[in-house]
Amino acid sequence: MNRNVEKIMKTSLLYGFVMTQPFVNYVDAYPELQNKILFKSDQLEIDEHGESVRLLQKKLHTLSYFDQPVDGMFGYYTKHAIKNFQANHKLSINGNAKKETLTAIVKNEQKQYKQQLKTFAKEIQPGMHNEKVKLVQKSLQYFGYYEGELDGIYGPLTKQALEIAENKHDLKLIIDPPPTPTEKQPTLSATNKEPNTEPKEKTKQKAVQKPSYTGINGSGIVEKARSQMGTPYVWGGTSPGGFDCSGFIQYVFQQEGITIPRTVSEIYNFSQPISEPSVGDLVFFETYKPGPSHMGIYVGNGSFIHAGESRGVEVSKMNNSYWQERYLGATRVKQ
């Protein structure tokens, strides 16, 4: 542990607790401490190594600019990721992480977690246990409001953290549960004051509730995806100016009014596994690292559309030898 990090930790009110925890696990759970450690360095540049570099890589990964192992070594890939971030945010493009670049990275990370909180908090309720709850917990943990385990269970700790976030950010995050249905009393007619005797069949029809979610419009998804054919591949890209693979998927679903997470692994965990894909479903592949690392949208006839590094947005065949041996499976996004 370098002197700067040790000094910061000793000034923390939680120093005693810190000393009982694995250092990396503790720092990762407290973004405020991460930022203090990060800004303690005047400049991070090529060939440096240590905790500050690891935290920088982690933040760049969260923002989808860095897909390599987070190892704390400032090498070519870290420099390249910083250059891409600087270019996208109109900063001086030099690949070094000075205060201006670090400030922009932290602000964008905060913005991303706040948007994730606003989006998914509206879709969860007490008692739920799913990936959306876990995404909310992760956002709450980032801002320091949630200190429990990221277990995806909407319990008292999650609700308490949401209440704090509501007050701090002036947001409506806790959705009131729907009122419990009560038996309706007969209503009197306006003319003769007699009970309103509607046919029973009609009454039953009115009482039928809609399902809690509906399937997506697969053909609409594919149509939006095909409209971006030929768009170049850009590492970290999320717009028609250039896409990376998950940025492309997120953009397409946004055009249909559907919000999904940003990274391949988050989308994989967020969506529902299925045995065989239909038009508009997602297909995942294991490419440069273990687990899902590339994805596309199934368009039918054994093909999928995706943002490839060499040719940008294109349609490829699932039975192509390269994709076939790397295929992991398919999932479905539901509203």
- Give, as one character, the DSSP assignment of residue 96: -
What tokens does 330 get? 């398919």
Question: How confident is the model over 12-24, as a mean pLDDT?
Answer: 41
3-state secondary structure 30-51: CHHHHHHHHHCCCCECCCCECH
> Which pLDDT score, from 0 to 100, does residue 121 have?
86
- Terminal alpha carbon distance of the chain: 46
Beta bridge mates, 295: 284
At 215, the pLDDT band (50, 70, 90 cuts) reads low
Buried b (16+ CB within 10 A) or exposed e, 127-158: eeebbbbbbbbbbbbbbbbbeeeeebbbeebb
Residue 112 in contact with residue 63, Cβ under 8 Å? yes
Which tens digits make up the pLDDT trace of 287-322? 877 788 999 999 999 999 999 988 899 999 999 999
Q: Report pTM.
A: 0.52
Q: Are strands 327-332 and 282-285 parallel, antiparallel or unpaired?
A: antiparallel
Say if CB 65 and CB 246 are below 8 A apart: no
